[in-house]
């Protein structure tokens, strides 16, 4: 497409921001010469047929391309940790953020551009926090023994401001996810007992407005599971749609990961996930996993629940998980927009189901919130339900949703 195919002059700033996420960023990802976390050059924009965005920004929004990417998209290429203007008063917050960024760069090989983008988003969060609460020591209340609900309320006020400033879902997801990962880092280092951002994010509708975010429906998942011919196929489907595992996590699932939690709950432990170490609760379907493991107890079994004698890893690869899920879906006659669903769509089903379960739980708490004059059900949940009770409630609601799908 060329410049003439886009009505640049009629696009609002919101629409230009959305255009970046749905058109420009994917094109940058496909082009090895341009990193999606960097500011595109004018030469590259012209080559791709996007040069009109520069004119629209300059003439209608009084912004250069660089200003647009720094101020609207949140990408900055000219600022490193040494010379960055944080515009906050708390040195310890700066130190913690820089430590977090250093670990990301060293352990996950993040580029300088990616680190700069993360720094920009975290700095904005700290600045807004200081504007609202009078200081930017965002760690202060996480190690003083103060009830977590108070910090949730503080962070919720910051997120409300970010929600007002960021116009597209894609932009909000990037900001909110970055902040959550930073707090996860603090929890992993035992510098915080709990991540307040997790429940703050539940207050916002952050479902991506993206055609790639498709999933299968409840009845479709029932049909897929009912079509499974053995425990191996059932376990694969449960891993994706019943436990929310990534395809690569299903492929490499090992018996040594299956643990019993402090309160008797079965769970899957991961030394390293996308956002760090973690566990996944097996709320429903453990019997399928147990049967699968018992069927593999032959001498020489390597412990993988989906072993492969031809793979160097000793287990099947994620592509095999995807192909198997698609074949079962084909037998079940299930399609999504005319195409066979992918393993990722199976995983997204778990998220949609979890969202429904949480909505039902929150409906039960709405009268309490109204009586207390609170606009945040998450805060009410924290105030009136201890952590153990909150987990039991979530598991109970989720188990009911899962049973309705997989009890076939």
* pLDDT given at position 211: 44
Residue 168 has pLDDT above 80, yes or no: no
Q: Of 31-40, 265-274, 352-361, 390-399, which gets the smallest average pLDDT?
A: 31-40
Report yes or no on whether pTM surpasses 0.75: no
Q: Among 149-163, 190-204, 332-346, which range has the highest average pLDDT?
A: 332-346
Residue 222 CB partners (closer than 8 Å, separation 6+): 405, 406, 408
What CATH architecture does domain 214-348 belong to?
Answer: Orthogonal Bundle (1.10)
Query: Which residue bears the tokens 């055609």?
Result: 211
The CA distance from 249 to 302, in Å, is 16
Nearest to 27 by CA among 8, 53, 4: 53
Burial of 187 (0-12, 13-18, 19+ CB in 10 A): middle
Burial of 386 (0-12, 13-18, 19+ CB in 10 A): exposed
Residue 303 CB partners (closer than 8 Å, separation 6+): 254, 255, 256
The CA distance from 302 to 309, in Å, is 10
Give pLDDT tens digits for 363-389. Answer: 555 554 444 444 444 444 444 455 566
Nearest to 133 by CA among 155, 148, 118, 149: 155
Domain extent listing, the chain:
3-73, 91-201, 214-348, 356-398
Cα 297 to its chain centre, rounded Å, is 36
Cα 69 to its chain centre, rounded Å, is 23
Instruction: Tell me the average pLDDT of the chain.
Output: 79
């Amino acid at each position: 497409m060329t410049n003439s195919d886009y009505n640049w002059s009629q696009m609002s700033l919101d629409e230009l921001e959305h255009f970046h996420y749905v058109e420009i960023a994917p094109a940058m990802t496909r082009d090895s010469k341009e990193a999606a976390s960097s500011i595109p050059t004018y030469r590259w924009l012209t080559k791709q047929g996007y040069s009109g965005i520069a004119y629209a920004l300059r003439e209608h929004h009084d912004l250069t391309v660089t200003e647009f990417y720094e101020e609207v998209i949140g990408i900055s290429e000219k600022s490193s940790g040494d010379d960055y203007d944080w515009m906050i008063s708390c040195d310890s917050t700066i130190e913690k953020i820089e430590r977090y960024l250093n670990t990301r760069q060293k352990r996950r090989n993040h580029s300088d551009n990616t680190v700069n983008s993360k720094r920009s988003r975290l700095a904005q969060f700290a600045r807004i926090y200081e504007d609202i609460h009078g200081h930017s020591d965002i760690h202060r209340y996480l190690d003083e023994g103060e009830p977590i609900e108070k910090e949730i309320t503080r962070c919720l006020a910051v997120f409300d401001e970010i929600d007002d400033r960021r116009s597209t879902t894609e932009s909000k997801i990037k900001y909110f996810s970055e902040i959550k990962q930073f707090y996860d880092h603090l929890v992993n280092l035992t510098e915080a007992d709990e991540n307040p951002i997790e429940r703050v994010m539940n207050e916002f509708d952050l479902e991506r407005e993206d055609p790639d975010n498709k999933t299968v429906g409840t009845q479709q998942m029932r049909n897929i599971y009912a079509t499974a011919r053995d425990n191996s196929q059932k376990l694969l489907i449960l891993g994706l749609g019943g436990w929310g595992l990534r395809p690569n996590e299903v492929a490499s699932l090992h018996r040594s990961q299956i643990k019993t939690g402090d309160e008797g709950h079965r769970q899957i432990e991961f030394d390293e996930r996308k956002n760090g170490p973690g566990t996944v609760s097996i709320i429903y379907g453990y019997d399928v996993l147990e049967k699968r493991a018992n069927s593999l107890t032959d001498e020489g079994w390597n412990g993988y629940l989906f072993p492969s004698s031809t793979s160097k890893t000793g287990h099947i690869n994620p592509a095999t998980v995807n192909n198997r899920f698609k074949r079962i879906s084909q037998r079940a006659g299930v399609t999504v927009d005319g195409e066979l669903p992918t393993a990722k769509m199976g995983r997204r089903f778990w998220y949609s189901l979890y969202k429904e379960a949480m909505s039902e739980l929150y409906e039960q708490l709405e009268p309490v919130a109204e009586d207390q004059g609170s606009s945040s059900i998450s805060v009410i949940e924290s105030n009136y339900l201890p952590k153990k009770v909150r987990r039991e409630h979530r598991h109970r609601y989720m188990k009911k949703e899962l049973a309705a799908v997989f009890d076939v």
